[in-house]
Structure 1
Amino acid sequence: MARKPPGPLRTGFTTGACATAAAAAATEALLGGAWPDPVRIRLPRGQEPAFPLHDRLAEPGAATATVRKDAGDDPDVTHGALIRARVSRGAAGQGVRFHAGEGVGIVTRPGLPVPVGEPAINPVPRRMMTETLEGIARDHAVAADFDVTISVPGGAELALQTWNPRLGIEGGISILGTTGIVRPFSCAAWIASIHRGVDVARAGGLSHVAGSTGATSERAAQEMLGLPDHAMLDMGDFAGGLLKYLARHPVAQLTIAGGMGKLTKLAQGALDLHSARSQVDFAQLGEWAAGLGLDGGRIARANTVLEAFEIARAADPAGADRLAGEIVARARDTARAALGDAPVAPRVIGFDREGGLLADSDV
């Protein structure tokens, strides 16, 4: 396989931008009879990109246009998806009204920025489409009363790879984006998903949420704690994103679950657990081990946390358990410090790669 040449990663466009472009093209065709291709729109920060149309359909009283989403170099599950907008004239005075077509979800739980029962089209895309269609209506000297149906063929299957099912968005993906631009490998997008997960949990009256560093620890923690899906937050590497948000929007109980490598970094004060942005301090880990009566010198020279545990276990069958207990206790201390005075009780649970329990800060 050819490797991508070095250089800046390519930006792309959000589903909201693509839906706006499709709706703009359909509205132009509905009102004027001509299809703009490519269709140019204005994004919230002033950029004016042009989008080629994938397909188009004119029918009596309505027009439909489709744009294929290009997410640039971001590993977005909706990259390449078809974003389709059908626009028809609405009742006098109704304004722009949105509907969910195939593959666009419906909100079923409170706590999201869209009311229950509405299509999962977020506020900024709604505003982008409304302002764009109002501008086109002015150009044609008509009232901006439109019914806009957004569809994403295959969106129900794509949604299974997103947070939507646990957020209570049923039947498809969400139409998202605050700037219209997708930044490759965006940390901000992941952290925003964590925030929405907390919002949904709070709105649903949950008093306990769990943030996990990966799928294995999430499954193990959920089974251990008996929490519902919408209490489980895919924290990934962004412990700080979760803790700082909970400090402002508290939930009574927080459990952090993960493997011992990432939890060691949290124990040492790191809030971003990605390998490119934080590393385990093995000298410090060795000092902790020595304080437990273990061979701190050898552990300080370990290459991985797994090797450190093997060293501890070889010297003392219970040594690895003591070291794991020290790590989760210190990780809980880091979480407490990040939460500040917020009324949140943190707990940290460590699992092995198979989901076996290694240590629990509350035991």
Structure 2
Amino acid sequence: MTPFKFSIAENPSAAIGLLSKNDRAAFLAGGTNILDLMKEQVANPTEIVDLGRLKLSSIIASATGISLGALAKNTETANHPIIRKDYPLLSKAILAGASAQIRNMASNGGNLLQRTRCSYFYDIAMPCNKRNPGSGCAAMEGFNRMHAIFGWSDKCVAVYPSDMAIALSALNASVKVMQTSGTERIIPFGDFHVLPKDHPEKDNSLNFGELITSIDLPKNNFAGHSAYVKVRDRNSYAFALVSVAAGFELQGNNIANAQIAMGGVAHKPWRATKAEAFLKGKPATKAIFTKAAELEMSTAKPLSHNKFKIEMGKQTLINAFELALKG
């Protein structure tokens, strides 16, 4: 691990000020990802700005929804009574995402900023445009079984690892950030993470120095009909090969509204807009679920080792739809 300076911020403005003075500095919240990256020499910040004293851990309900403090722990969020009652999809996704020990440390804001678990990204001897822009993508012609089937570019085929964010995408969350000027901006969740295109080193739309202060969820009608399904190589907290977060609003046996996101298939949470549009207004039947899943997976572009993800994606979508229907 490269030596670094350790600074403690007393408030959000101070945190932003410290980071803004050093373009090789990084924020530290729970540390469950950044410390791994530093140990493996993937990330080498010269300064760590500790956020532990910032008062950003509250979970506050309002008439329009609920606000999740950026420094609230994943465990607190998943087990919060309002989350369990009104946003069970989020609770299920968080609990599928990591061991209890990690959830006890990991912060909500940090969860959104996780870097890919692509093995070529972590192997500093291999070329990786995400780690070292312009060096190439070893995964493109390598063992790309875990990699993207949607939205990838010839610069990067890595996938985004968070489970929590897949549910947040399906729930139309927004991310509130403090800018370096001290003013606030709100980023719709679909715009927060970005596809690789020509700049795979950029995971999200944050500007350097900006600080996530909360994640806000609007009210929804999915509490009774939602599901999170995660398919992985082993059941002990492995990253998703494919995951699906699905929420339905029903009118009788018809689907009045569907919000669906997929994980393990793209560089960002993949909103299943084709399936959503097809399901709206249709009866909740196995035949309709199958058609929606086939439609969503029809534009997938598999790599040499992950063609299986197309059928897996289809079946995982159908499974999630059926579980959401049951409630």
TM-score of the two chains, using structure 1 as the length reference: 0.23
The structure whose Rg is larger is 1
TM-score by length of 2: 0.25
Instruction: Name the structure where helix makes up a greater proportion of residues.
Output: 1
Higher RCO by CA contacts (8 Å cutoff, separation 6 or greater)? 2
